[in-house]
C-alpha cells in the first residue's frame, strides 16, 4: 500500500506566494489574539490556588459558591471539571491568607456542607514562583532556538538554520494564538508541549533540507525550485506517515489522558498539523527567499564526511 | 552486505535481554510493609532492635516476606495487607516512643531481581499521591538577631576600655553607636575592628539599599558622630548557610515524627527548601508541623519601667533597646531586646504537670552553653522577671514571665503557663525537634490525593498502550514485513526505556508518562525514514539487498540530525524546567536516545536475519512501491 502515487513532482514552490500570504495572515491573527485576548495563564504562572474536589454524587455548584463566600475572597471560581461530580475551585493570590492556610480553609468550608467529597489535587503557587516559572519558560524557548540555529548552521548552513527556526516559531506562535483565541488554560504542562513541538517540528525541516542538499548534489542541472519540489514530494510519504503515527498517539492521549493531559495534547495536535504545513510551505520557501542555491551548499558538501552506515 | 557479525548479533541480543530483566520489576506490583525509624533522624537502628521487632511480629503470627535494611532504617515486607496496621500498632506499643513506625509499600519483585539491582521506576508524587512543599526561608531576621547579640558585646568592650558613648541601638539590622566627639569615635573604631573581624565598622552608614533607617538619617543630619556596625559579607554568608542547615535538620526531625516512609527534604537554590511527603493524606497536620515557625526566646523583663512609660510605649513611643509584648492575659510588658537563650540551646523538652499547682508545664533540659548562660543570668537578676516568648510568624506571645527566685543551675528549667496538656505536648514536640534558625513560608504546594495518583497512572498507561497498539497496526499495514520489524523495534524501545528509567531511578510523573507515549509516536519516525529510503532505492532500480543497505545508510544522517535537534529541545526542557516540565524532559530525552538504538540497530538486525542470508530475493516485503517518473 502506498498513499502517494505521485508520478511527477508537485510544484510546491509555485504556490509559495499563496502560502506566504496564508502564513502571514495566520501569523498576524495569532499575534492579534495574543495581544488582544492574551493567554489564559494557569496558576503555574500567575500564582494562585486550584483545588480539585471529587464528589460522590452530582456536585451542587451554587451551594459550594455560596459557602465559599465566607472566605471573603473575590474572584473565587467554581466550575465542573470533566464530569458533573468533579469540581474545580480557583482562588486568586491573596495577601491575607497564606498558601498553606488557604487549602485547609477551603477544606473546612466544604466540610460544612457534608463529607461526601475527596480533595483530589491542590496546586498552590506563590506569585514569586509563578514569575520564575514564566522566566524559565521564556529562557528555555530562547535556548532551544539558539541551539537549533547553531547546530543547523554547522550541519547545513545559516540560511537553512534560520528558515528552520522561522518555520518553527511559526508553529509555536500559532499554537499560542489558538490558546489565546479559545482561552484554553496555558500551564506548565502545555509549555512542555510547546517546547516538544519546537524540537519535533524542526525534525520536519531537517528531513526536507537533508533531501534538498542531497538533490543539489544529484540534480546538478535542475533549478533550485525544481530541487526543492522534488525534495518535498519525495519526503511526502514519510512526512505523512510520521505525523500520522505521532498524531495517533496524541489522539490516544486526548481520549485516555484525562483533564491534565488534555491541553497538552491539544497543543501537540496543533503543533503537528501546522508542523507539516510549515516544513513544506514555510521552511523551503524561506530558504529559497534567503538565496539558497547549489553553490552555498557545495562547501558544506565537500567538507562533510560521508556518514557511516551503522 | 546485509549481515551482522556474530558478536554484533550477540551484543544486541544481550542488551535486549538485560533491558527485559531490568524492566520486569515494574510488573510485580507492590507489597505492604512497615518501616522502623529512629526518632532522631540519621541515627541507625540497632541490630538488637531488629531482632526484637522480628520476634514481636513472629509472636503475633504476622508473616514477613523479607527484611530490608537501608539508610539506617529497617523495612519488613508483609504478606497480607490486613497485617500492616496491626503490625504498626504492635511495634509502636512494644518498641516504645524512641522509634517511629511508618507504613510503606515495597516492590514485590522476587529477591534475585532485587539482588541484581532490579527496581521498579520511581514514581513522582502525582502518580503515588502525597504532598510537595516549596518553602522560602526568610533570612532577613537573622541579621537583626545577630545585631542584637552584638550590641551587648560592643557595649561591654567600650565600657571596659572607658570609651564614652551617647547611645547605642539597632535599626534595620545595622547597629549604630553615637559618640560625643570625633576622638572617641576613632578610638572605638580602632578597638572594635581589632576585636572582631566578622563585622565591619564604618563611620557612616550606607543608606543605599538597606535604606530605611530614619533614626540614623536624623542623627547624621545633625552632624552627630556615628559609628555603624554591619555584618561582613563573609559572615552573612556563613550565617545564611548555617540557618539553612539548621532548618533542614529541624525539618528532618519534625518530619521524622510525622512517620513518613520516604520523605525528600532538600535545599533548592540559595534560600529554598523542598519537602516531599509521599503518601501523606493528612495535609493539615503535615503543614502544621512543618510550617510552624515556632521560636523560643528567653528575655529579661524591664521591671524598672514605670506604668507611664508603658502607657507611652503602647501609644507607640517605645524606649530604645526595649520591645513591647503582651502576655496571655493581655498585660503589656516591656522586654529588653537582648535574647538570653533561644530554642537552639534546648537539648530536650517534655510535657509534665506541676506537682504543686496541677498546671501543665514543659520541662526543658538545656545544653552546656545554655545552662551556663542561664545560671549566670539568674544569679545576676534575682528578683527580676524573665519572659519566655513563643514566636510564630507574625505572632509573638509571652507564654509566661516568672520572677527569678534564686540562681538556677544544672540546666533544668520548667516553663509554666501552658493552657492545657495538649499545648504542653505540642510545644515540647516543637522544642524537641529543634527550632528553626529562620522562619519559613510555604510558597508552593502541590497535593495529590491517593485515588488521583492511581487514576493518573491508569491514564498514562492507557494513553501509551492504545497509542502503541494503533501505531503498530498502522506501520505493519503500511510497510508489511518491514512494518512488523519496525514494530518489534518499537516494542524493544519501550522496554529499553522502562529499563533505563528503572535503573536510573529517575522520577516518573504524569507528564513523563505522556512523554513515553509521545516517544512511541516519534521513535517510529526513524523506521519510517529507513523504510521510505529502501522503497526509494528500489524505485531507483537497485537490487533488494543493495536497497536495504543503501536505505539504512542514507537514512542514518537524517535520523541523526533530526534526533539531535529534538535532543536540544529536550535538554533545554531539562535545564530550565521545574516540576512537570522536568519530568517530561527526562523521559523525552532518554526516549530519543533509546530509540536510536532500537530503531536502527535492532530493526537492522531483524532485517539482516531475515534477508541477509538469502541469495536471491525477488521482492522485498515492504508494501507496494509505485513507480515515479524521474
**pLDDT score for B500:** 95
Q: Which of A50, A235, A237, A241 to mutate to test the interface with B (most CBs of B within 10 A)?
A: A241
Q: Which of A42, A172, A246, A303 to mutate to test the interface with B (most CBs of B within 10 A)?
A: A246
Contacts of B593 in chain A (CB under 8 A): none
What end-to-end distance do the CA atoms of chain B give, in Å? 28
Give tens-digit pLDDT for B378-437.
888 888 888 888 776 567 778 778 888 788 877 788 877 777 777 777 777 666 666 677
Contacts of A246 in chain B (CB under 8 A): 518, 521-522, 525
Of residues B451, B468, B558, nearest to A210 (C-beta): B558
**pLDDT score for B618:** 79
Q: Which CATH architecture has domain B292-443?
A: 2-Layer Sandwich (3.30)
Contact state of A2 with B524 under an 8 Å Cβ cutoff: no
Is B5 an interface residue toward A (CB < 8 Å)? no
Of residues A6, A256, A268, nearest to B628 (C-beta): A6
More confident residue, B65 or A266: A266
Contacts of B617 (CB under 8 A, 6+ apart): B543, B544, B545, B611
Element (H, E) at B191: helix B182-195
Instruction: Find, in chain B, the residue whose alpha carbon is nearest to that of A144.
Output: B569
- Percent of residues, chain B, with pLDDT higher than 70: 89
β-pairing, B507-508 vs B122-123, is parallel
In the predicted structure, residue B45 carries a pLDDT above the cut 50: yes
Give tens-digit pLDDT for A106-159.
888 888 888 888 888 888 888 888 888 888 888 888 888 888 888 888 888 888
Contacts of B626 in chain A (CB under 8 A): 2, 4-7
ipTM for the predicted complex comes to: 0.87
Could you please state the CATH topology (level 3) that the domain comprising B6-23+449-612 is classified under: Multidrug efflux transporter AcrB transmembrane fold (1.20.1640)
Half-sphere exposure of B575 (CA within 13 A, CB side): 13
**A167 within 8 A of A26, measured Cβ to Cβ:** no
**pLDDT score for B148:** 66
Separation in Å, CA of B353 to nearest CA in chain A = 32
C-alpha cell at B446: 502541590
User: Which CATH number describes the domain made up of A48-125?
Assistant: 3.30.70.3400
Nearest C-alpha neighbor of B527 from the set B453, B593, B574, B596: B596
Contacts of B441 (CB under 8 A, 6+ apart): A98, A100, B135, B136, B138, B291, B393
**pLDDT score for B347:** 72
Instruction: Find, in chain A, the residue whose alpha carbon is nearest to that of B445.
Output: A124
In the predicted structure, residue B107 carries a pLDDT above the cut 60: yes
| Among A193-197, B147-151, B515-519, the least confident range | B147-151
Portion 456-485 of B in contact with A at CB < 8 A: 456, 459-460, 462-464, 466-468, 470-471, 474-475, 477-478
Q: How far apart are CA B128 and CA B507, in angstroms?
A: 11
Instruction: Find, in chain A, the residue whose alpha carbon is nearest to that of B559.
Output: A207
Instruction: Find, in chain B, the residue whose alpha carbon is nearest to that of A1.
Output: B624
Contact state of B556 with A310 under an 8 Å Cβ cutoff: yes
Separation in Å, CA of A197 to nearest CA in chain B = 9
Nearest C-alpha neighbor of B568 from the set A280, A155, A149, A213: A149
Pick A12-41+129-301's CATH classification: 2.40.37.10, 3.90.1150.200, 1.20.1640.10, 3.30.450.20: 1.20.1640.10
Element (H, E) at B135: strand B130-137
C-alpha cell at B630: 524521474
Q: How far apart are CA A144 and CA B380, in angstroms?
A: 68
Residue B35 Rama label (left phi>0; alpha psi -120 to 50; beta): beta
Long-range contacts of B234-241 (CB under 8 A, 24+ apart): B234/B198, B235/B198, B235/B199, B236/B143, B238/B198, B239/B142, B239/B143, B239/B146, B240/B139, B240/B142, B240/B270, B240/B271
Portion 85-144 of B in contact with A at CB < 8 A: 134, 136
When pLDDT is cut at 50, 70 and 90, the band that residue B149 belongs to is low
Q: How far is CA A20 from the centre of its chain?
A: 21
Q: Which of B443, B527, B559, B603 to mutate to test the interface with A (most CBs of A within 10 A)?
A: B443
Contact state of A129 with B134 under an 8 Å Cβ cutoff: yes
Which range of B76-90, B485-499, B573-587 scores highest in mean pLDDT? It is B485-499
**B554 within 8 A of B627, measured Cβ to Cβ:** no
Give tens-digit pLDDT for B490-507.
999 999 999 999 999 988
Which range of B119-128, B336-345, B393-402 scores highest in mean pLDDT? It is B119-128
For chain A, which residues make up each domain, given as ranges? 12-41+129-301, 48-125
Give tens-digit pLDDT for B153-206.
787 778 888 888 887 877 766 777 888 777 887 788 777 777 666 666 665 544
**pLDDT score for B432:** 67
For chain B, which residues make up each domain, given as ranges? 6-23+449-612, 292-443
- The dihedrals phi and psi of B81, each to the nearest 5 degrees, come to -60, -35
**pLDDT score for B177:** 81
- The dihedrals phi and psi of B621, each to the nearest 5 degrees, come to -85, 70
**B276 within 8 A of B583, measured Cβ to Cβ:** no
Give tens-digit pLDDT for B197-234.
666 666 554 433 344 455 555 566 566 677 777 767 77
Of residues A1, A253, A257, nearest to B624 (C-beta): A1
**B470 within 8 A of A252, measured Cβ to Cβ:** yes
Contact state of B463 with A252 under an 8 Å Cβ cutoff: yes
**B294 within 8 A of B349, measured Cβ to Cβ:** no
Residuewise pLDDT in 10s, chain A (310 residues): 566 666 678 888 888 888 888 888 988 999 999 999 989 998 888 888 999 998 888 888 888 888 888 877 778 888 888 788 889 998 888 777 777 778 888 888 888 888 888 888 888 888 888 888 888 888 888 888 888 888 888 888 888 888 888 888 888 899 999 999 999 999 888 988 888 888 788 888 888 888 888 888 888 888 888 888 888 888 888 888 889 999 999 999 999 988 888 999 999 999 988 888 887 788 888 888 888 777 766 544 444 444 444 4
Tell me the CA distances in angstroms from B512 to A185, B490, B503, one per residue in order: 20, 18, 16
Half-sphere exposure of B210 (CA within 13 A, CB side): 19
- Bridge partners of B441, per DSSP, are B136
**pLDDT score for B219:** 61
Contacts of A202 in chain B (CB under 8 A): 562, 565-566, 569
**pLDDT score for B528:** 93
Separation in Å, CA of A25 to nearest CA in chain B = 27
Which range of A17-26, A284-293, B282-291, B322-331 scores highest in mean pLDDT? It is A17-26
When pLDDT is cut at 50, 70 and 90, the band that residue B2 belongs to is confident
Separation in Å, CA of A69 to nearest CA in chain B = 21
- Bridge partners of B199, per DSSP, are B231
- DSSP for A126-194, please give it: -HHHHHHHHHHHHHHHHHHHHHHHHHHHHHS-HHHHHHHHHHHHHHHHHHHHHHHHHT-EE-HHHHHHH
Question: Model pTM?
Answer: 0.79
**pLDDT score for B433:** 64
Other CB atoms within 10 A of residue B555 CB: 27
| Among A178-182, B316-320, B450-454, B546-550, the least confident range | B316-320
Amino acid at each position: 500500500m502506498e498513499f502517494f502515487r505521485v508520478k511527477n513532482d508537485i510544484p510546491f514552490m509555485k504556490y509559495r506566494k499563496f502560502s506566504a500570504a496564508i502564513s502571514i495572515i495566520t501569523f498576524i491573527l495569532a499575534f492579534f489574539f495574543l495581544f488582544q485576548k492574551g493567554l489564559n495563564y494557569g496558576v503555574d504562572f500567575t500564582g494562585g490556588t486550584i483545588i480539585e474536589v471529587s464528589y460522590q454524587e452530582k456536585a451542587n455548584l451554587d451551594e459550594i459558591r455560596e459557602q465559599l463566600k465566607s472566605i471573603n475572597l473575590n474572584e473565587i471560581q467554581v466550575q465542573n471539571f470533566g464530569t458533573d461530580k468533579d469540581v474545580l475551585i480557583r482562588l486568586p493570590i491573596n495577601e491575607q491568607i497564606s498558601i498553606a492556610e488557604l487549602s485547609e480553609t477551603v477544606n473546612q468550608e466544604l466540610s460544612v456542607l457534608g463529607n461526601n467529597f475527596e480533595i483530589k489535587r491542590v496546586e498552590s503557587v506563590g506569585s514569586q514562583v509563578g514569575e520564575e516559572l514564566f522566566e524559565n519558560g521564556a529562557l528555555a524557548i530562547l535556548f532551544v532556538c539558539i541551539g537549533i540555529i547553531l547546530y543547523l548552521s554547522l550541519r547545513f548552513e545559516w540560511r537553512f538554520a534560520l528558515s528552520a527556526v522561522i518555520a518553527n516559531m511559526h508553529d509555536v506562535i500559532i499554537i499560542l494564538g489558538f490558546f489565546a483565541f479559545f482561552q484554553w488554560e496555558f500551564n506548565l504542562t502545555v509549555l512542555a508541549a510547546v517546547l516538544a513541538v519546537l524540537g519535533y517540528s524542526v525534525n520536519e525541516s531537517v528531513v526536507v533540507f537533508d533531501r534538498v542538499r542531497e538533490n543539489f548534489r544529484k540534480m546538478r542541472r535542475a533549478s533550485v525550485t525544481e530541487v526543492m519540489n522534488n525534495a518535498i514530494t519525495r519526503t511526502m510519504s514519510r512526512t505523512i506517515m510520521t505525523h500520522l503515527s505521532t498524531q495517533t498517539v496524541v489522539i490516544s492521549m486526548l481520549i485516555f489522558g484525562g483533564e491534565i493531559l488534555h491541553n497538552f495534547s491539544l497543543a501537540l495536535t496543533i503543533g503537528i498539523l501546522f508542523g507539516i504545513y510549515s516544513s513544506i510551505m514555510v521552511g523551503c520557501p524561506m530558504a529559497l527567499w534567503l538565496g539558497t542555491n547549489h553553490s552555498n551548499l557545495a562547501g558544506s558538501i565537500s567538507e562533510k564526511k560521508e556518514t557511516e552506515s551503522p | 552486505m546485509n549481515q551482522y557479525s556474530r558478536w554484533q548479533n550477540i551484543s544486541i541480543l544481550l542488551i535486549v535481554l538485560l533491558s527485559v530483566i531490568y524492566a520486569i520489576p515494574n510488573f510485580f506490583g507492590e507489597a505492604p510493609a512497615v518501616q522502623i525509624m529512629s526518632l532522631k533522624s540519621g541515627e541507625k537502628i540497632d541490630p538488637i532492635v531488629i531482632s526484637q521487632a522480628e520476634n514481636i511480629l513472629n509472636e503475633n503470627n504476622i508473616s514477613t516476606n523479607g527484611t530490608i535494611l537501608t539508610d539506617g532504617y529497617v523495612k519488613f515486607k508483609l504478606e497480607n495487607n490486613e497485617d500492616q496496621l496491626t503490625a504498626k500498632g504492635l511495634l509502636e506499643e512494644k518498641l516504645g516512643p524512641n522509634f517511629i513506625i511508618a507504613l510503606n509499600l515495597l516492590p514485590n519483585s522476587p529477591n534475585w531481581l532485587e539482588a541484581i539491582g532490579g527496581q521498579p521506576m520511581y514514581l513522582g508524587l502525582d502518580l503515588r499521591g502525597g504532598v510537595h512543599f516549596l518553602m522560602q526561608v526568610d533570612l532577613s531576621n537573622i541579621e537583626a538577631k545577630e545585631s542584637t547579640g552584638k550590641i551587648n558585646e560592643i557595649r561591654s568592650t567600650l565600657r571596659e576600655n572607658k570609651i564614652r558613648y551617647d547611645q547605642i541601638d539597632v535599626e534595620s539590622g545595622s547597629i549604630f553607636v553615637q559618640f560625643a566627639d570625633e576622638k572617641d569615635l576613632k578610638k572605638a573604631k580602632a578597638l572594635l575592628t581589632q576585636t572582631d573581624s566578622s563585622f565591619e565598622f564604618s563611620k557612616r552608614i550606607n543608606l543605599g539599599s538597606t535604606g530605611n533607617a530614619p533614626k540614623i538619617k536624623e542623627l547624621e543630619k545633625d552632624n552627630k558622630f556615628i559609628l555603624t556596625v554591619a555584618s561582613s559579607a563573609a559572615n552573612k554568608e556563613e550565617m545564611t548557610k548555617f540557618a539553612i542547615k539548621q532548618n533542614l535538620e529541624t525539618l528532618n526531625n519534625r518530619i521524622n515524627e510525622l512517620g513518613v516512609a520516604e520523605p525528600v527534604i532538600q535545599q533548592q537554590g540559595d534560600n529554598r527548601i523542598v519537602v516531599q511527603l509521599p503518601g501523606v493524606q493528612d495535609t493539615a497536620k503535615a503543614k502544621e508541623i512543618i510550617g510552624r515557625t515556632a521560636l523560643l526566646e528567653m528575655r529579661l523583663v524591664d521591671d524598672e519601667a514605670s506604668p507611664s512609660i508603658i502607657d507611652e510605649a503602647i501609644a507607640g513611643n517605645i524606649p530604645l533597646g526595649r520591645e513591647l509584648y503582651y502576655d496571655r492575659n493581655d498585660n503589656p510588658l516591656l522586654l529588653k531586646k537582648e535574647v538570653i537563650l533561644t530554642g537552639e540551646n534546648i537539648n530536650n523538652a517534655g510535657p509534665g504537670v506541676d506537682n504543686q499547682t496541677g498546671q501543665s508545664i514543659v520541662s526543658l533540659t538545656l545544653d552546656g552553653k545554655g545552662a551556663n548562660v542561664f545560671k549566670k543570668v539568674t544569679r545576676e537578676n534575682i528578683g527580676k522577671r524573665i519572659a519566655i516568648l513563643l514566636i510564630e510568624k507574625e505572632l509573638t506571645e509571652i507564654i509566661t514571665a516568672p520572677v527569678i527566685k534564686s540562681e538556677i543551675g544544672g540546666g533544668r528549667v520548667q516553663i509554666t503557663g501552658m493552657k492545657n496538656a495538649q499545648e504542653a505536648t505540642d510545644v515540647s514536640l516543637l522544642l524537641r525537634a529543634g527550632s528553626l534558625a529562620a522562619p519559613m513560608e510555604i510558597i508552593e504546594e502541590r497535593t495529590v490525593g491517593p485515588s488521583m495518583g492511581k487514576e493518573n497512572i491508569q491514564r498514562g498507561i492507557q494513553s501509551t498502550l492504545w497509542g502503541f497498539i494503533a501505531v503498530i497496526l498502522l506501520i505493519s499495514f503500511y510497510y508489511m514485513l518491514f512494518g512488523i520489524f519496525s514494530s518489534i523495534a518499537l516494542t524493544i524501545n519501550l522496554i529499553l526505556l522502562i529499563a533505563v528509567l528503572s535503573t536510573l531511578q529517575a522520577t516518573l510523573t504524569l507528564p513523563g508518562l505522556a512523554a513515553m507515549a509521545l516517544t512511541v509516536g516519534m521513535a517510529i519516525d526513524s523506521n519510517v525514514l529507513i523504510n521510505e529510503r529502501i522503497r526509494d532505492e528500489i524505485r531507483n532500480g537497485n537490487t533488494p539487498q543493495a536497497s536495504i543497505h543503501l536505505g539504512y545508510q542514507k537514512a542514518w544522517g537524517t535520523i541523526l540530525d533530526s534526533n539531535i535537534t529534538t535532543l536540544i529541545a529536550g535538554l533545554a526542557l531539562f535545564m530550565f524546567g521545574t516540576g512537570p516540565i522536568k519530568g517530561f524532559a527526562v523521559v523525552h530525552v532518554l526516549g530519543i536516545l533509546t530509540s536510536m538504538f532500537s530503531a536502527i540497530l535492532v530493526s537492522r538486525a531483524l532485517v539482516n536475519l531475515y534477508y541477509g542470508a538469502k541469495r536471491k530475493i525477488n521482492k522485498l516485503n515492504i508494501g507496494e512501491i509505485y513507480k515515479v517518473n524521474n
